[in-house]
Copies of this chain bind each other. A is one copy, B any other.
Amino acid sequence: MTDVFHALADPTRRDLLDRLFLKGGLTLSELAEGAPMTRQGVAKHIAILEAANLVTAEWEGRNKRHFLNPVPLTGIVHRWVGKFEDARLDALAEFKSRLEDPTDMDKKDTKRHG
């Protein structure tokens, strides 16, 4: 969970995911070609993406081919975002109820009914 968010919190890594999204099976060298850093730098980023299970690798001779794995996103992140969407709906409902009953504003100091 922390790993997934941390992996996504870097533009370089998001760019790598974008490129694997457009074309799967790229090797490390291919991914490193367009990057503004050393091959080892890219390798470290990919290691982080693999640790977060966002990228899966597959060996083909001396070539390591990389593929995007969207499962951690659709699973964990979705659950988190959905949770906050509920919060947004709650806020919306509360806002609506205030519109319908403006005297509710006075209750701002009292604790909210869970």
Contact = CB atoms under 8 A, between A and B. Distances in A.
Interface of A: 2, 5-6, 8-11, 21, 23-25, 68, 70-71, 73-74, 77-78, 80-81, 83-85, 87-88, 112
Nearest to A85: B74
Contact of A77 (B2, B23, B25, B81): B81
Most buried by B among A23, A80, A84, A112: A84
B25 A112 contact: yes
A21 B84 contact: yes
Given A2-B10, A10-B2, A68 B81 contact: no
Given A2-B9, A83-B21, A88 B74 contact: yes
